Amino acid sequence: MIFDGQSILITGGTGSLGKVLVRRLLSGEMGDPKKVIVLSRDEAKQHDMRIAYLHKKVTTDEIIYNNFLNKLEFRIGDVRDYADVCSAVSKVDYVINAAALKQVPTCEYFPEQAVLTNCIGAMNIVRAIREHNYCVNTVVGISTDKAAKPVNVMGMSKAIQERIFTSANILNSDTRFICVRYGNVMASRGSVIPLFIEQVASGGPVNLTLPDMTRFLLTLNQAVDTVFAAINTAESGEILVPNAPSATVLNIAKAIIGDRDIEIKINGIRPGEKIHEIMVSEEEINHTIKRDNYYAICSMLPELNDGSRPNALKKEFSSADNVLTLEDTIALLKNNHLMPGLEKYSEGGELLA
């Protein structure tokens, strides 16, 4: 199995995606890894995560001081810092770059911060591998549908991150650089569903931007599935995109409200937001192929794509296509244990399970 005896670095590993990645890597479903390393800036989140995994086996002191002897290892550091990245990357086989500034309004007000994390962080990973000849098998960049035809800083910075990673294959031919791109991850920190659940639990109102706004919907496990599928199947320079369903924010709100007497309030679009998201743009369909239940966007660079494979799409892949009905939206949330079920969520909006 692909991760047997391998060391995997997850940058931003204390985030919603990182936590599920760690859990599933340690489950052995993709093989028994030698080491799973979490690199992030927040010592409190690392401590909570460390305790959650290890407190049943050893005392607190052993958890802290035996950190580097454990299969799950925590490192304080920042992808923005080249030295931190070099230290973390030097002896690993796989890098999953989940470190990001991902909140659209935050990135609009502080674009330079988005560039430092989302772009310079990616550049540091590439530079470290190239300049030190580290023997890294694969680097996976975690991207977003907002990187397709970007209109906000978050999407723009992620689009540049994609190009930094995919173009890195030219001068770093011993390492495979690939990306995954997906939409709204249900129940992830800062996403709309935990926000709506919190507003419902508080008695309302539930605040919407625009009723007809649509978003692609994936669970955290489906996001991890996409990362694993990319590691198993993607070729150098490809961006793997799941064929995900979409729903209107109005139907998401109605599904969570159910039969409760709670007001829905329309506040208008936020800075930098799109009404509909795009997973594969009109320009990208010319080098997109189908692979199982995914689309693979091949690199536009001729060194990485000879253009011989047939296009899989006739038009851009938009969240406005094939929108779920209210009934189907309710079924999707129920099937993924996301309603309502309010007791399943912590104050921060993360799944307790």
Give the pLDDT of residue 350.
42
Q: What pLDDT sits at residue 70?
A: 80
Taking only the tens place, the pLDDT of each residue in 30-73 is 999 999 999 999 999 999 998 887 655 545 555 555 666 688 99
The set of residues, in sequence order, having a beta carbon less than 8 Å from that of 216 and lying 6+ positions away, is 145, 182, 183, 184, 244, 245, 246, 277, 279, 319
In contact, 186 and 336? CB cutoff 8 Å: yes
Condensed to tens digits (0 to 9), the pLDDT of residues 70-92 reads 889 999 999 999 999 999 999 99
pLDDT at 66: 60
Q: What is the pLDDT of residue 54?
A: 67
> Which DSSP string do the residues of 69-113 spell out, in sequence order?
GSSEEEEE--TT-HHHHHHHHTT-SEEEE------HHHHHH-HHH
Query: Under CATH, to which class is 7-344 assigned?
Result: alpha beta
Q: CA of 79: how far to CAs of 15, 217, 231, 234, 271, in Å?
A: 14, 28, 21, 24, 27
Cβ pair 278, 266 in contact under 8 A = no
Are residues 293 and 242 in contact, defined by beta-carbon separation less than 8 angstroms? yes
Q: Which pLDDT score, from 0 to 100, does residue 44 have?
A: 93
Q: Which of 35, 56, 102, 146 is catalytic?
A: 146
pLDDT at 270: 80
pTM over 0.75: yes
Low-confidence ranges of the chain (pLDDT < 70): 54-69, 189-190, 339-353
Token output for 281? 């743009």
Q: 173 - beta bridge partners? A: none
* 146 in active site: yes
* CA dist., res. 217 & res. 202, Å (int): 24
CA 113 from chain centre, in angstroms, equals 18
Domains of the chain by residue range: 7-344
H helix runs in 121-276, sequence order: 121-132, 153-171, 192-201, 220-233, 249-257
Gyration radius from the chain CA atoms? 20
Q: Which long-range contacts (CB under 8 A, 24 or more apart) does 155-158 make?
A: 157/101, 157/107, 157/111, 157/114, 157/115, 157/117, 157/118, 157/119, 158/100, 158/118
